[in-house]
Structure 1
Amino acid sequence: MQDWVLESEKEDHLGDSFVARTFKQPSPVIHTTLIHHIANPNADKAILYIHGYTDYFFQAGLAEYFISLGYRFYAIDLRGYGRSIRPYRPPTWCESISEYIDDLDLALATIKQDGIAETIVLAHSTGALISANYLAKKQQAPSLDNDDKQTLSTVTGLIFNSPFLALPFSPQQIKWLKKPVKAIVSSFPSGVIKTNKPIVYAKSLHSQFEGEWDYRLDWKPENGFGLSLHWLNEIIRAQEWLATQTLNIPTLLCRSEVSTISKKSVGDMQQGDGVLHVESMEEAVKNTFDNLTIKVIPKGFHDLYLSKEPAQQAYLQTMSDWLTEQD
C-alpha cells in the first residue's frame, strides 16, 4: 500500500452525522476521500460503498438504512471523483484500473484502524468492476495475505448494484461489436467524447429536470464528464481480465428487470436500467463469481437506490435479507 497522509478530517457537507477524511499521496499528488457515518461506533461489521463512473457518494439515506441494521457505514470518493476532484487532474482519469488498489487498501486499512474486522463491499457500476478486480488481484498474491489480514479489514461479501462488468450491449451484440470497439479505443487513446446537452439518464435522476434527487452537478454533471477513450480501453481490459478469474466470495447481484438504454424519454428510461444491458451484466457476473445470488428489481434504475420508492424499497429489503443469510 502506498504512503497516504491524512490531509483533513471534518464534518461532511451531508450533515453532522458524517465525517469526511481526505488523504493525499505526495508524488504524484493524488487525493482520495473516505466518508463515514458516526453512528454504531461499537459495531464490528461495516458496509463500504464504492460509487460508479461520473459519480460520488451523496446517498445519505442509504447510509442511514445500513445504520438501522446495526452496521457501520463508509463510502469512498475515489481519486478524481466527487470530494477528491482537484483542478490539476482531469475528473475520472486513471492510467489503469489497478491504480484504485491503493484507494481500496487505504479505505480497508482505515476501517480496520477504526476497529472493524469485517467489511461488506457495496459497489455500483464501475465501482463493481474496480472492487472485483481488486479482490481478484489480491487472490493472485497469496504472499501478501498475512500482511493484509493484519492491516486491512477483511472483505467477507460483495453486493453489486448494476455492475459494469460487460459493455452496454446485448450478449449477441458484444460478440461482433467488441473487437471494433477495442480497435477504435486503442487506436485513439487521447480521444475524448463529449456532449453539450443533458443525457436522458441524468434528466431521469436530478430534480432540476424530471428526477427526484438533488446532488452536486459539478461532481455528477448532467451531460457527464468527457469520456476518455483511454479510460474506456482500460475498462475493456479490466473486464476481459476479470472474465479469466474465479472468485467464490459470497456475492449478491442486484439488477433491473430490463434495459432501457435506447429510450428517448425520461418516463420510458425510468422503467429499467438506462445505462447497461442487464443480460450481459448477469452473464459476466456468472462467469466469475461462484457463490452468487441474483435478485431482479422490477423498474429499478441503473443505480437501484435512486429508483422510485417501490423499486428502491425492494432493493433495500433484498440487501437486508441477503445480509441476514450471511450471518
Structure 2
Amino acid sequence: MTDTMWQPWAPDILGPDYESATLRLGPDPDGEGEAVATLVRRTPVTDGPAVLWIHGMTDYFFQDHLAAHLAEAGYAFYALDLRKCGRSHRHAQRWHYTSDLRHYHPELTAALDHVAARHPSVVPMAHSTGGLIAVLWFDWLRRARPELARRVAGMVLDSPWLALQYGARNPLIAGAAHVLGRLRPGMALPGGDLNAYGESIAADWDFDERYKPVAGTPKYAGWLLAVVRGMEQLRGGLDLHLPVLTLTSDRSWLGQPYSAASDTADTVLEVEAIRPVAESLGAAAEVVPVPGARHDVYLSLPLALEQALTETTGFLDRVTGAEAEGTGSDGADGSADDAAH
C-alpha cells in the first residue's frame, strides 16, 4: 500500500468525536467496480496502545459507547469498515459480498500499518464474521509480514463465526456451498431469520439502518463458499501464537421470533460450536461466556455489557503491559496527521 491510496481524514458520520479516511483499493476482485475501505478513529488520538475494531456481517462501526469506554481506559480507538460494507459500500455493489475472505487482507494490513506506525502495540477486536476474517488474516500476516504481526499484542473476538450453527445439517450445508458456490456464485440464498437479533438491538441502540438493516442483507452462494472454506482452515487447529480472548453469550436462542429471551442470548450463532474452535487458536486462547449477552456482546443489556467491558479492558491491560496512559493528542482537526497514512 502506498501513501497516495489514503484520502485525508474528514469528519465522520458519528459526529465531532470521530474522523474517517478512505482507502482506495483498486478494482474489486469480484468485478464490482472500485473497492474502498474506511478507517475511523476516535479523537483526540492518544499515543498509547490502540485497538482496531472489525465489524461483522450486515454491519459497520457505530458502537460509540465501546469506543468511549476504551478511550477513557487510555486506549486509542480505530475501526475499519471493510470493502462493500457500511461507509465503504458503493453504488451497485452487493452488500458485504466477497468470493474469498483473502480479499480483505489488503485493507486490514493497510489499517494495521497505519495504526502500528503511531502506537506501541495494537489489539484487533473482531465481531462475528469479522472474527473469522481477522483470525485467517492474522495467520497469513504472521508469515507474510512477520515484523508487522509482532506489533499485535493480542486479539479480542466478539462472538466470532468460527463454525456453522446448524448441527447435524452442517456437512450437507457445507457440501451444498461447495457445489453452488462454484457453479452459481451469484445465486441468492434463502434468508436466515435475523429479525429477532435486529429487533432486539434496535430497541436499545441507535444505528443507521441503511448500513445495518434489521432483517439483514442478501447472502449469496459464492459468499457462503468463502465462509465455509475459511472455517475449513480452522478444523485442524490454527495456532495464532497470540493471546486471544473470545467473548460469547452463555447460551443461544436460534430460530425463534423476537421475545424477551432474545435480549439475553445469541440469536445468530451456536455458542457451543464456537467454543472448541476458539480454544484451539493457541495455548494463550481463552473463552469467556458472558451470562445474558447478545450476539454482539457489546450491544448487550447493562449487566452483561458491564462484564464484557470489564473482561475486555482487563485483557487489554494484560497483553499491552498496561501501557495505556492516555497521553498525547493530535487534535480533532487532524493537523498533525493530514492523511491517514
TM-score computed with the length of structure 1 as normaliser: 0.89
Give the match for residue 219 of structure 1.
211
Equivalent residue in structure 2 for 1:301, among 294, 297, 310: 294
List aligned pairs for 1:311-322, cutoff 5 A: 311-322=304-315
Distance 2:316 2:110 in 1: 24
Equivalent residue in structure 2 for 1:132, among 135, 144, 147: 135
- State the number of aligned residues: 314
List aligned pairs for 1:26-65, cutoff 5 A: 26-28=26-28, 29-43=34-48, 45-65=49-69
Alignment gaps of 5+ in structure 1:
none
Equivalent residue in structure 2 for 1:268, among 261, 273, 292: 261
The offset of 1:133, in angstroms, is 0.4
Matching of residue 120 in structure 1 with residue 112 in structure 2: no
Distance 1:281 1:198 in 2: 18
Q: Which 4+ runs in 1 deviate beyond 3 A?
A: 1-4, 172-188, 194-198
Alignment gaps of 5+ in structure 2:
29-33, 322-341
Distance 2:193 2:122 in 1: 39
Distance 1:319 1:18 in 2: 22
Give the match for residue 105 of structure 2.
101
The offset of 1:241, in angstroms, is 1.2
One-letter code aligned to 1:120 = V
Equivalent residue in structure 2 for 1:91, among 92, 95, 102: 95
One-letter code aligned to 2:293 = G
Give the match for residue 234 of structure 1.
226
Query: Against the structure 1 CA distance between its residues 92 and 176, is the aligned structure 2 distance closer, same or farther, given a 3 Å change threshold?
Result: closer
TM-score computed with the length of structure 2 as normaliser: 0.85
One-letter code aligned to 1:16 = P
Give the match for residue 157 of structure 2.
160
Q: Which has the higher contact order (CA 8 A, sep 6+)?
A: 2
Deviations 1:113-163 (A, max 9, x none): 3x213101111001111110011112333xx424x37xxx81110111000
Query: Against the structure 1 CA distance between its residues 105 and 77, is the aligned structure 2 distance closer, same or farther, given a 3 Å change threshold?
Result: same
Distance 1:23 1:276 in 2: 31
2:58 match: secondary structure: coil
Deviations 1:212-259 (A, max 9, x none): 112111101122111111101100001111333322200001010111
Query: Against the structure 1 CA distance between its residues 223 and 265, is the aligned structure 2 distance closer, same or farther, given a 3 Å change threshold?
Result: closer
User: Does the 8 Å CA contact 1:101/1:134 hold for their aligned counterparts?
Assistant: yes
The offset of 1:72, in angstroms, is 0.4
Bigger shift: residues 185-194 or 62-71: 185-194
One-letter code aligned to 1:77 = D
Distance 1:4 1:302 in 2: 38
Distance 2:90 2:4 in 1: 16
Query: Against the structure 1 CA distance between its residues 96 and 180, is the aligned structure 2 distance closer, same or farther, given a 3 Å change threshold?
Result: closer
Bigger shift: residues 288-297 or 181-190: 181-190
Distance 1:246 1:198 in 2: 32
User: Does the 8 Å CA contact 1:161/1:304 hold for their aligned counterparts?
Assistant: yes
Aligned CA RMSD, in angstroms, stands at: 2.2
List aligned pairs for 1:154-193, cutoff 5 A: 154-170=151-167, 173-174=169-170, 178-180=174-176, 182-193=178-189
Give the match for residue 72 of structure 1.
76
Deviations 1:271-320 (A, max 9, x none): 21000000111111123333112211111000011111111111101112
